[in-house]
Amino acid sequence: MRCTQFIGLNSYARKWLEKPNFTCIGKEEITTGIGNEPIYGTVWQGELPWGMVEVKEVVDKVPWSSGPMIFTCLKVFKLQEEGPMEVGEYFRWMADPSLEDEGKEYDEETGRYFI
């Protein structure tokens, strides 16, 4: 059966968000699945040493395995008077062919995939 598989963030991203200074402020639609169903990512706000930031879960990779597999990463925006300034994407998934030898399509602990 073909279906959407939402994989989400890797363990490094989830661990980073456990910092006490991040607060979940909601969800935003980030893409649609195979049946046009909305897929949501989480949005956080918090303070880092260089100021207040908004952190959004965004689509990183969408390989196909009996349907789309949606891997996400974090996009950070510095909040400032002129409006949010994009800082970059972090904790992205890495393509790694050695996973095939391990019999895996992805490993959320190490942030690797090979589909």
Residue ranges per structural domain of the chain: 5-113
The strand pair at 112-113 and 94-95 is best described as parallel
- In this prediction the pTM is 0.93
Task: Name the token pair of 69.
Answer: 């597999």
Q: What does R_g of the chain's alpha carbons equal in angstroms?
A: 15
End-to-end CA gap in the chain = 17
Dump pLDDT digits (tens) for 56-83: 999 999 999 889 999 999 999 999 999 9
Mean pLDDT on 18-28? 92
Kindly report the CA angle at 24 between 19 and 29, in degrees rounded to 5? 130
Q: How far is CA 25 from the centre of its chain?
A: 16
